[in-house]
Amino acid sequence: MDWDKVYKAYDGKRCSAELDLMGQINILSNAKIVKTLNVLLIGISKCNLACNYCYCRHEQMQIMDVKSFITIFNKLNRYFASDVEFHLVFHGGEPLLLGKSFYRVVFSFLKGQQRAFHTSIQTNLTLLDEEFMSIFTANNCTVGTSIDGSKLMHDTNRIYKDGRGTYDDVLRAVNALEADEAPFGGFVVTLNDTNIASAENLYDSLRCFRGASIGFSIVFKSTDTSETILDSEQLGGFLVDLFDIWVHDDSPLRLTFFENIIRNCLGINLCPECTFSKQCADNFLAINALGDVFTCCDFEGMQKFSYGNILSSDFQDIWESPIRRALLDRLSKRTISQECCECEHFDICNSGCMAKTTRGFSDRDCYCFAYRMLFSHIRGQLPALIACTHRISEALAGDEMKNI
The 10s digit of each residue's pLDDT in 102-131 is 999 999 999 999 999 999 999 999 999 999
Interval 335-359: pLDDT, tens: 677 788 889 998 888 888 888 877 7
pLDDT value at 7 more than 50: no
The predicted structure's pLDDT at residue 194: 96
Query: What burial letters (b/e) apply to 171-182, b meaning 16+ CB within 10 Å?
Result: bebbebbbeeeb
Q: Phi, psi (5° rounding) for residue 135?
A: -65, -50
User: For the chain, what percent of residues have pLDDT higher than 70?
Assistant: 81
DSSP 3-state of 289: coil
The pLDDT-based confidence of 400 (bands split at 50, 70, 90) is very low
The confidence score (pLDDT) of residue 340 equals 85
Mind giving me the DSSP string for 95-137? GGGG-HHHHHHHHHHHHT--S-EEEEEE--STT--HHHHHHHH
Q: Supply the pLDDT for residue 234.
A: 97
Average pLDDT, rounded, for the chain: 84
pLDDT of residue 177: 96
Give 148-201 pLDDT, tens digit per residue: 999 999 999 999 999 999 999 999 999 999 999 999 999 999 999 999 999 999
Q: What is the pLDDT of residues 234-283, one digit of tens each?
A: 999 999 999 999 988 888 899 999 988 888 887 776 555 688 887 788 89
Nearest to 287 by CA among 68, 51, 26: 68
Helix axes 167-179, 130-138, angle to 10 degrees: 50
218 vs 6 pLDDT, higher one: 218
- At 385 the pLDDT is 67
Q: How far apart are CA 48 and CA 97, in angstroms?
A: 8
Q: What are the backbone dihedrals phi and psi of residue 160, each rounded to the nearest 5 degrees, phi first?
A: -75, 170
